[in-house]
A and B are shown apart, each in its own frame.
Chain A
Amino acid sequence: MTENQTDNTRRAFFVKLSLGLSALSAFVAGIPVISALLAPLLEKTPEVWRKVADLDDFAIGAVKLVTFENADPEAWAGITASSAAWLRRESESTFTAFSVNCTHLGCPVRWEEGAQLFMCPCHGGVYYKDGTVASGPPPKALVQYRVRINKQQIQIQTAPVPITTL
């Protein structure tokens, strides 16, 4: 092997080594970066029961806006840690809790007591009192939360913001 050939082999080796090490360092440095980017998908959010009202606060047929803290709020979330739901007392022992998010594009729906309808301010979606679509663009009924009565307290199980999919 000539001196020139040895040099070329050496050079080829170092080129491969430099590229390989660069790729390795980029890969290793990239792990925490990708992890930060995908953090919301990697962390599991628990679903917990939150007290939203006392049983005595609700007359049968009443619909009220209730608020509760999200399942796993960050210390710096401040008031953004809250969520809301529309809660209706159907009978002595049954309640229905509707998400406040319109199924069209997520805007906050309002309960209009006189009209007995839920109305969305954004694009005019309207729902009947059972949450089914009355008119406008919403593709499906209002999403419901799970509700239970525990020791004279009404509790709602926290859930993700309902995202309408195709």
Chain B
Amino acid sequence: MKMLKKIWAWIDDRSGITEMLNPLIKHLVPPGSKWSYVFGSATLFCLVLQVITGVALSLLYQPSSSDAYQSLQFITHQAKFGNLLRGIHYFGASAMIIMVGIHMIRVYITAAYKYPREMGWISGVLLLFLTIAMGFTGQLLRWDSNGVWSSVVAAEQLGRIPLIGKLAARLLMGGNTVGGHTLSRFYSYHVFVIPAILFILVAFHLMLVIRNGISEPPKMGRPVDPKTYRQWYKDMLAKVGVPFWPYSAWRDILFGAATIIAIIALAYIYGPPELTQPPNPAYIYTNPKPDWYMLAIFSLFALMPPKIESVVIFVGPVLTVLILLCLPFISHKGERSALRRPWAVFGSICVIVFVFSLFLLGEQSAWSPQFTAKPLTPTAIHSSDTLVIHGAALLYQRGCLYCHKVDNTGGLKGPELTNIARRLSDEDLRVRIVNGGTNMPAYGGILKKEDLTAIIAFLNTRK
């Protein structure tokens, strides 16, 4: 033991580890920085977990367009603890996005982005988008048919950039089509390019925390004044500050550890998402859908008015980033307390409700045709009239049930047809079916006159 102490003393003396780390570990923080402050460090815990599990996955994963799918099957179903490893990486990504989101909301609600912490906010905004980019590129590395088609969807979005859209899309896919270069590129983005930028920004973000100090809990009637704030903060710390380790850090460590345990538990219970079909771009019977954190955007693409959509796909993200980056320049001083900033609280709630609603809508995806809809059963048809039976059969054969529901069968895109004849006359039904509408094809050129009569006859039985 004595020997070990001597060795450590030598290493510490020559390397200056304690001398370097002590001021960081023991720097003073404001009292009262309690549980609401743990989400930033929890994000960091998740990042470390992602790095470690990512490195482990890279030992088993084959980043080649032709072999990646098989290697993922191997990791998921054969490799010892491979399933758990993939699961941890998957739930770790989700947890990181949740933590970074909560951290950002906390910083906004408590106006911790105000003087002198503007750069902390700016680097944080960039880190938020890099985290989402990591999530998205990671989803593509699953390299099943969902991954292949998601990369095409991403390329299409880049295609909306004015002037250079096609070039950007081609650059993303690694060529004119999905192929050998596509996965290599996404692998490089996910494993090297984005993490390199992420690590630099994380280091910068942490350095700013040390330089400017953790923001003190806001107090009503104590506005930030850039002229006096630094001195006031310094005096406050000298008077009532507590060392970060151990009086404040224990909460971060406890919450971070609990987060990691929860991630591992979820991975153990639910496992990673199962792969869909092999990555064959010629296989089209698939329904590409992003992971949950991109579902809100997925919904937005379905619900936006088509006329403005192409513009919004480009302008929306640019404007969002710009507004977030500009925030500390628009409001860099004054009140920090949420009680004196009701509009900030209201705005945050609106954004949360909006995003969560879009997420729920995305889960339901009512706008997607329900290709699995089954023909109506004799019980649902409830008639022996051949015309009515024919009409009911046509609802299935002509794809009406993909979008319309009759009793418990059918899609949700269009209005339910169960009792539609109570609302619409024969003529109204005929006009709507023949001419279609904003969200319905005109069936005039598809249905024969007698087919139309049969469908209306069926709908009329359900008045």
Binding site for B on A (CB under 8 A): 38-41, 43, 45, 65, 67-68, 70-71, 73-84, 100-101, 104-110, 112, 114-117, 119, 121-124, 126, 128, 134-139, 159-161, 163-166
Contacts and interface: CB of A to CB of B under 8 A. Distances in A.
Contacts of A126: 369, 441
A117 B438 contact: no
Contacts of B170: 40-41, 160, 163
Nearest to B145: A108
A47 to B, nearest CB: 9
A139 B310 CA distance: 8
B402 interface: yes
Given A105-B301, A161-B155, A166-B314, A112 B286 contact: no
Contacts of B180: 73-78, 80-81
B302 A123 contact: yes
B371 A121 contact: yes
Contact of B413 (A78, A109, A116, A124): A124
Contact of A106 (B156, B174, B402, B442): B156
B217 interface: no
A88 B441 CA distance: 20
Contact of A139 (B306, B396, B399): B306
The 4 closest A-B pairs by CB, nearest first: A78-B66, A74-B180, A115-B399, A134-B441
A165 B280 contact: no
5 contacts: A100-B284, A106-B152, A110-B285, A126-B369, A137-B309
Contacts of B371: 110, 119, 121
Most buried by B among A68, A134, A136, A159: A136
A166 B155 contact: no
Given A81-B179, A161-B176, A165-B166, 12 more contacts: A40-B174, A70-B176, A75-B180, A78-B180, A78-B279, A83-B282, A106-B153, A107-B288, A122-B288, A123-B301, A135-B439, A164-B160
B61 to A, nearest CB: 15
B311 interface: yes
Contacts of A41: 167, 170-171
Given A106-B153, A114-B399, A84 B282 contact: yes
Contacts of A135: 436-441
B159 A115 contact: no
B395 to A, nearest CB: 10
A115 B282 CA distance: 22
Nearest to A126: B441
A78 B63 CA distance: 12
Contacts of B441: 115, 117, 126, 128, 134-135
Contacts of B155: 106, 161, 163
Contact of A40 (B67, B161, B165, B175): B175
Contacts of B306: 136-139
Contacts, number: 204
A68 B282 CA distance: 8
Interface in B26-49: none
Given A137-B306, A163-B159, A166-B162, A74 B181 contact: yes
Contact of B281 (A80, A109, A121, A165): A80
B165 A165 contact: yes
Contacts of B177: 70-71, 83, 160-161
Nearest to B287: A121
Nearest to B279: A80
B461 interface: no
Nearest to A80: B65
A111 to B, nearest CB: 9
A6 to B, nearest CB: 39
Contacts of A80: 65-66, 148, 178-180, 182-183, 279-281
A70 B314 CA distance: 29
A124 B442 CA distance: 15
A118 to B, nearest CB: 10
B304 A76 contact: no
A163 B311 CA distance: 15
B165 A163 contact: yes
Given A40-B175, A124-B302, A115 B398 contact: yes
Contacts of B233: none
A45 B174 CA distance: 11
Contacts of A134: 436, 441-442
A112 B165 contact: no
Given A123-B367, A164-B156, A137 B281 contact: no
A117 to B, nearest CB: 6
Nearest to B165: A165
Interface centre among A39, A77, A139 (most CB of B within 10 A): A77
Contacts of B66: 76-80
Nearest to A74: B180
Contacts of A68: 282
In the complex, which of the residues A67, A122, A160 has the most CB atoms of chain B within 10 Å of its own CB atom? A122
